[in-house]
Amino acid sequence: MQIDTDNIIQRLAGALNGELPGKNAHKIMMPQGRNLEPLAKTEPRLSAVLLLLHIDSDALYITMIKRAEYDGVHSGQIAFPGGKKEEYDDNLRMTALRETYEEVGVRQEDVKMIGKLTPLYIPVSNMCVHPWVGFHRNIPLFVKQDKEVQQILSLPLGGLIENNAIETDIFEGINYRIEAPCYKINGYKVWGASAMILNEFIEIWRNSIEIDKD
């Protein structure tokens, strides 16, 4: 099967500029007891992540990272490259690109930005994360930022789209033990905010992208 890259980018861009599934998609992968609305009295901090797609051997992949182990709630979790907006970032699109370069070494000039998903509030950090979608026309030459990233993952999109990739598990960390749905693929479990963001993207993909088979 040969993938028509330009067709995918065009159709995905159109879908991302239309009505998004948003919170309905988020709720499907929402951990037990999670709230989608801000509860803190202070304004949420802003951050951005990048869902980076690329093709390898006529298959589509999405880039994720396994966070480094540290004394914090997100230690060791599977996530998208990204981080908080800094004062010198012109906008959240720039934040997503800058953080992706810093964490996995992908240069912004090598990424074609396609659009953005629904912002998601993360209660534990009082953060509002803005997910962006981009496409790398080549196989990325990753460079890992060792302080923040334990491993860079290229996960096959087809495996994530399969319905049997979703299961429920118990996740434990510093000051929490949570039951949550997750995407299971290649021995990794994607849960929490990353799974909620991923699920919105997958719903858009299912509804908007069709790849003809030879």
Greatest mean pLDDT range, 75-84, 101-110, 165-174: 101-110
Tokens representing residue 90 in the block: 């012109």
More confident residue, 182 or 163: 182
Cβ(133)–Cβ(49) below 8 Å: no
- Chain position carrying tokens 């923040």: 148
pLDDT of residue 39: 67
Distances (CA, A) of 38 to 84, 110, 171, 186, 193: 17, 35, 23, 33, 14
- Considering its fold, how many domains does the chain have in total? 1
Tens of pLDDT along 3-48?
888 999 999 999 999 999 999 999 999 988 777 777 666 789 999 9
pLDDT of residue 36: 73
Tens of pLDDT along 37-82?
776 667 899 999 999 999 999 899 999 999 887 655 556 789 999 9
For residue 47, tell me if it sits in a domain: yes
For residue 69, tell me if it sits in a domain: yes
- Characterize the bridge pairing of strands 111-116 and 149-156: unpaired
Q: Of 47, 13, 25, 40, whose CA–CA distance to 198 is shortest?
A: 25
pLDDT of residue 100: 98
- Residues in Cβ contact with 163 at an 8 Å cutoff, skipping those fewer than 6 apart: none
- Chain position carrying tokens 């319905």: 163
For residue 214, tell me if it sits in a domain: no
pLDDT of residue 112: 97
pLDDT of residue 184: 92
177: β partners: 172
**pLDDT tops 60 at residue 212:** no
pLDDT of residue 3: 83
Q: What range does the domain containing 120 cover?
A: 5-208
pLDDT of residue 192: 92
Tokens representing residue 14 in the block: 């159109």
**pLDDT tops 80 at residue 111:** yes
Mean pLDDT of 112-129: 93
**pLDDT tops 60 at residue 214:** no
| Spatial separation of the C-alpha atoms in residues 47 and 37, rounded to whole Å | 16
For residue 115, tell me if it sits in a domain: yes
For residue 194, tell me if it sits in a domain: yes
For residue 51, tell me if it sits in a domain: yes
For residue 42, tell me if it sits in a domain: yes
Residue type at 157? L
Output the domain CATH number for residue 74.
3.90.79.10
Burial 89-106 (b: 16+ CB within 10 A, else e): beebbebbbbbbbbbbbb
- Mean pLDDT estimate for the chain: 89
Mean pLDDT of 153-171: 89
Mean pLDDT of 100-128: 95
